[in-house]
Chain A
Amino acid sequence: MCLQESLSNVSLYLMCLYLHFTHRYYVSSKTINKLIQVHDRIFCCIAGSLADAQAVTKAAKFQISFHSIQMESPPLVKAAASVLKELCYNNKEELQAGFITAGWDRKKGPQVYTVALGGMLLSQPFTIGGSGSTYIYGYADAKYKPDMSREECLQFATNALALAMGRDNVSGGVAHLVVITEEGVEHVVIPGDKLPKFHDE
């Protein structure tokens, strides 16, 4: 259904998402937004049942915003990921949604957390998810290196997305990337035909 990828870097963090939603063999939309902003410097990639994911992120966004106001400071990425994890774990019977939560906070800088379907929370330097991710585990493991620059990060993410979209029949459409730094948030949108080409014919 979609490929998500997040990388953590020295001073920035990058999320990229594949916009494609399918219902069995019917492509409902090629341009839906699967990168939800839950706070100023924290984004969530969603996967699984999009209805569940949207409901959970809506609840999480409210809780995180309230928490941030009570704390009188921006929330920690870990706190935001924990809120999502609590929602996923406590309602695991009803829900079918997984997330990649990532962002920047003053305490630990850029971070990436995976919240799996049953509610497991894991911190990683980078992570991939979604149906298309199975095709690029090798590529990601081989090509990732710590402390990449912003451009290297963007290139890595774009290449990975392009490769996955090329092989996964239920992934495609538009690639949506978000670059999060202390200074701000930048969106990069790459239509499918502008992605890098590889030898996957």
Chain B
Amino acid sequence: MSSIGTGYDLSASTFSPDGRVFQVEYAMKAVENSSTAIGIRCKDGVVFGVEKLILSKLYEQGSNKRIFNVDRHVGMAVAGLLADARSLSEVAREEASNFRSNYGHNIPLKYLSERVAMYVHAYTLYSAVRPFGCSFILGSYDQDDGPQLYMVDPSGISFGYWGCAIGKAKQAAKTEIEKLQMKDMTCRELVKEVAKIIYIVHDEVKDKAFELELSWVGEVTNGKHELVPKDIRVEAEKYAKVSLNFKTDSTTDQGGFPMPCKQG
């Protein structure tokens, strides 16, 4: 699975003969070990969904957050080493705050993601530090620019997306996201779909219990990033579970029994 660097992977300041920086690739592997987080942008907002694996029955519900508030209008969902992610959320918060202090208005998300990506990239240049072992998805909503979604990975690049997934089931999640027509959906419709995707990609066999963390920012919240209210979250989870049962029923084979039909 993983190729051994044989000496070229000891520090981030070394290239391998085939042009790879192994330390950065290993950092991305760290992200792939973490549970999935997805972010989807619709026509009037952005919705985040995170699959939070419950490793112990003693965990307090709602603690160990994976979605952070970076500014009033900006949210951040993370995957990978959580301590690295928390430190980066502080960096993002300072950037947003300094921008507002200097320029008097909300930071545009493209600029914020570029600034934080630049910071992440700086840690891939030297042997004295290790790269950040986390990817994160930034989302915001602004009256004039509309909803925006950006993803930053440990190599320090940032791209804008309509939908993206990070973590162990990112491939499966991406496939599900591609099926959606998100440009025509509203936040309320999208919340249910995001919950459904998390339930679909969750592996019941390997990871037992999980808690779904949902957040959104858009017209529905008046531009403020916040956790989805409990009643809407419960409704979304119900929709997700029903869709999942329907899906599993349709895939099991009922055998060759003729179905009785009414004629009248």
Residues of A whose CB lies within 8 Å of any CB of B are 67, 70-71, 76, 78-79, 81-83, 85-86, 107, 121
Contact = CB atoms under 8 A, between A and B. Distances in A.
B111 A78 contact: no
Interface of B: 101-105, 108, 111, 144
B102 A83 contact: yes
Interface of A is mostly: helix
Contacts of A71: 108, 111
B263 to A, nearest CB: 66
A71 B145 CA distance: 13
Contacts of B144: 107
A67 B115 CA distance: 13
A81 B111 contact: no
B108 A78 contact: no
Nearest to B105: A78
Nearest to A76: B105
A82 B101 CA distance: 8
A88 to B, nearest CB: 13
A183 B80 CA distance: 49
Give me the 8 closest cross-chain CB pairs, A-B, nearest first.
A82-B104, A79-B103, A78-B104, A82-B103, A107-B144, A78-B105, A86-B102, A79-B104
Nearest to B104: A82
B104 A121 contact: yes
Contacts of A78: 103-105
B104 A70 contact: no
A109 to B, nearest CB: 12
Contact of A83 (B103, B108, B111): B103
A79 B111 CA distance: 15
Contacts of A70: 111
B224 to A, nearest CB: 20
B159 to A, nearest CB: 16
A67 B105 CA distance: 13
A142 B92 CA distance: 48
Nearest to A113: B104
A121 B103 CA distance: 12
For B101, B103, B108, B111, which residue has the most chain A Cβ atoms within 10 angstroms? Answer: B103
Given A71-B108, A78-B104, A82-B105, 19 more contacts: A67-B103, A71-B111, A76-B103, A76-B104, A78-B103, A78-B105, A79-B103, A79-B104, A81-B104, A82-B102, A82-B103, A82-B104, A83-B102, A83-B103, A85-B104, A86-B101, A86-B102, A107-B144, A121-B104
